[in-house]
Chains A and B, each alone.
Chain A
Amino acid sequence: MRHLSYLAVLAGCLLGTAPLELFLGTRVYARPRRLLLTLLPVVSIFVAWDVYAIAAGHWSFDPRSITGVRLPGRLPLDELLFFLVVPVCAVLTLEAVRAVRGWPAGDESDDLDAGDRGAAGYVGAAGAAGAAGAAGAVGAAGAVGGGDQAVEVRDAAGGPGDAGG
């Protein structure tokens, strides 16, 4: 079991932050497209750093404490997962602070990532029926909404031909 030590630490991070998504409505996992686009550059840069550091011998890993799966560049699988888990936890924390304190982060025009919520299809269908119908559809899609949801739905319903987007 010891070879799962590193993974256990990462699992602890994910479990510890999960209540933020579940109870504070951080909507980080609920916006997979934005999350993925965020992770791509971050993982690329830091994996490159890690591969260099491993090659240069800056750090190494106790073989008994990691899975033993090595990716190209001798990168342990555990390390790749680290660069996914830690950024997700960081974003969850930022969104939790925003949810609790309401402080701006500079991206407030966002928040409906239509593709992410799967709302676009519903909105397209609801188009003529108006925003009320669309709001119902978004609700049914299971969005853990904030107060801005109504505005977002109006936006999405209003644009001509937005469903095809």
Chain B
Amino acid sequence: MSYTALAVLGAAAAVAADLWLLRTRLLTRRIFWVSYAIIVVFQLLSNGILTGFGIVVYDPGAITGLRIAYAPVEDLLFGFALVTHTLTWWVWWGRRLGRSPRRHPAATDRRK
């Protein structure tokens, strides 16, 4: 499978994980999109260095050939998948650790 196809699949899987598998629904929140907007700027910068200086080299046969800041557009999808999936797990674990039984049964009552 080409990098293009995998990148689309990866991004779709990250969306599915957030919305339906882990149900963190970060993609519906403002905090996610503002964070992502900041991250993507720095991604273009650091990825631009990695690709612009030829540290990472892509097989022309595996990509569409469209490039943004030296990097193939596929990298945007790859980065989106990586960032989204990371933040999904971060929030998922935040919920889970927060519900840890050693604190919450008593704690929830007292908070009312």
A9 CB–B CB distance under 8 Å: yes
| Distance from B106 Cβ to chain A, minimum over Cβ atoms (Å) | 5
B66 CB–A CB distance under 8 Å: no
CB neighbours of B95 from chain A (8 A): 106-107, 109-110
Determine the main DSSP class of B at the interface with A.
helix
Residues B107 and A154 in contact, CB atoms below 8 Å apart: yes
Residues B55 and A62 in contact, CB atoms below 8 Å apart: yes
B70 CB–A CB distance under 8 Å: no
Q: Which of B38, B57, B85, B111 contacts A42 (CB 8 A)?
A: B85
CB neighbours of A159 from chain B (8 A): 102-107
Q: Which of B31, B54, B92, B110 contacts A98 (CB 8 A)?
A: B31
Q: A45's closest neighbor in chain B, by CB?
A: B85
Residues A59 and B90 in contact, CB atoms below 8 Å apart: no
A140 CB–B CB distance under 8 Å: no
Report Cα–Cα, A39/B89, bound state, in Å: 8
| Distance from A17 Cβ to chain B, minimum over Cβ atoms (Å) | 9
Given A34-B90, A42-B86, A53-B3; A90-B103 close (CB under 8 Å): no
Report Cα–Cα, A162/B104, bound state, in Å: 10
Report Cα–Cα, A42/B99, bound state, in Å: 22
Report Cα–Cα, A154/B85, bound state, in Å: 32
Binding site for B on A (CB under 8 A): 5-6, 9, 12-13, 16, 33-35, 37-39, 41-42, 45-46, 49, 53, 56-62, 65-66, 83, 86-87, 89-91, 93-94, 97-98, 101, 103-107, 109-114, 151, 154-156, 158-162, 165
Binding site for A on B (CB under 8 A): 1-3, 6, 10, 24-26, 29-32, 34-35, 38-39, 42-43, 46, 49-50, 53-59, 62-63, 79, 82-83, 85-87, 89-95, 97-100, 102-107, 110-111
* 13 A/B residue pairs, CB under 8 Å, sorted by A: A9-B55, A38-B93, A39-B86, A58-B6, A59-B57, A94-B31, A105-B32, A106-B25, A155-B104, A155-B107, A155-B111, A158-B106, A159-B103
